Amino acid sequence: MKHLFYIHSSITFLVATKIVEGLDKDNCIFLWGRNFQATTDIKHHKFPFVHLPKEYFSASIKFWETRKKVVEMDDWLAQITEGQDFFYYTPQSGTNFFYVLVENVSCKGYNYIEEGRGSYFTKKQLQNPKSNSLLRDALYQINFKGRSSSVKHFFDFDHPKFKTAYGLSQHTFPDLQDKVILDIPFQKKEFPGNYEHILVPEPIVEFGIVSEATYQQTVVYFLEWAIQKKYTTIHVKYHPGQKKSIELMRAVYQQYKDQLTVIELPAEWSLEEMAVSTTANFVIITSSVGIYASLANRTVYSLAQQLVQLDATYQKAIDDLPDFFKKELIFI
């Protein structure tokens, strides 16, 4: 029996590595998604059937193309598993490729693994969709032959192949009573340098959640706040989904270069491991990094309220935060 883990972030990598400790390592395979990869002695492959930035499996009039892709995934799975049955481990299930994979005849079950803030959502917050188009349903049936549906659930606890969920606290997967709570998987490491304040931005410009102007004004607010607090150095760790917003932030840094030093951290560094290895404060917006920093007894500040001052629609992002997490945050 093989164990396939879909991994697209440092937190899913660390959680998966912890789960592997209780399995036969030689039968475990990590599947890298969203351009994430890490150093490991576990067998691993780049997962080619991703849904971002473009859905690999889509229901279209050219149904034969989709069916060809389904066969392509089946052949690929048979190759990497050497034709053996497997269990699948995933952060969530709201994609076509998830259902195509788990409906493979060799998949004997799937499990959820904690990935961050999404793992703390309730069913009410997720607002699982309902089908409202017979034509769309028929199109999916023709394309996938029952392997995927127009209705996809972020968490599908009722699917017959669902087994369990692995989390790091009792707060995770709140609608699930029976789950596996793992020990905190973050390892202390030596990080060169001295770290007092780590800024953790998010790709909310790239996702169209806030405007470029609002984002830059929020960065200005933070830097002026930091200067008022007599901070001299800020470290920043960008999100893999950031591109345009990095340039926006760098433009703001230049305005304050004589008052504050901003140091950009390497992309491969784990913020969760920095939380247990340093005494730094963390400054987030609503990132799940704050959850793990608070578990490590770090002080966590949030810029979310400042964003709301500039764009009232962002209030929903704060409202959706788990209650226990909101109580840990210091809004600035």
The class level of CATH for 2-181 reads alpha beta
State how far the Cα of 195 lies from the Cα of 288, in Å rounded to an integer.
20
* φ/ψ (deg, to 5) at 136: -65, -40
Residues 156-213: tens digit of each pLDDT: 999 999 999 999 988 999 999 899 999 988 889 999 999 999 999 999 999 999 999 9
Residue 143's pLDDT band (boundaries 50, 70, 90)? confident
> For domain 197-331, is the CATH number 3.40.50?
yes
Residue 52's pLDDT band (boundaries 50, 70, 90)? low
State how far the Cα of 23 lies from the Cα of 40, in Å rounded to an integer.
16
Pairwise pLDDT comparison (137 vs 3), residue with the higher score: 3
pLDDT of 129 above 80: no
Average pLDDT over residues 6-25: 94
**Cα separations (Å) of 227 from 8, 257, 294?**
35, 11, 24
**The two domains 2-181 and 197-331 share their CATH topology (first three levels equal):** yes
Average pLDDT over residues 251-276: 94
Domain ranges of the chain: 2-181, 197-331
Give the pLDDT score at 123.
Answer: 78
pTM: 0.81
Q: CB within 8 A of 253, min separation 6: which ones?
A: 223, 260, 262
Asked whether the beta carbons of 315 and 229 are under 8 A apart, the reply is no
Give the pLDDT score at 124.
Answer: 77
* φ/ψ (deg, to 5) at 328: -85, -20
Average pLDDT over residues 294-298: 91
Average pLDDT of every residue of the chain: 91
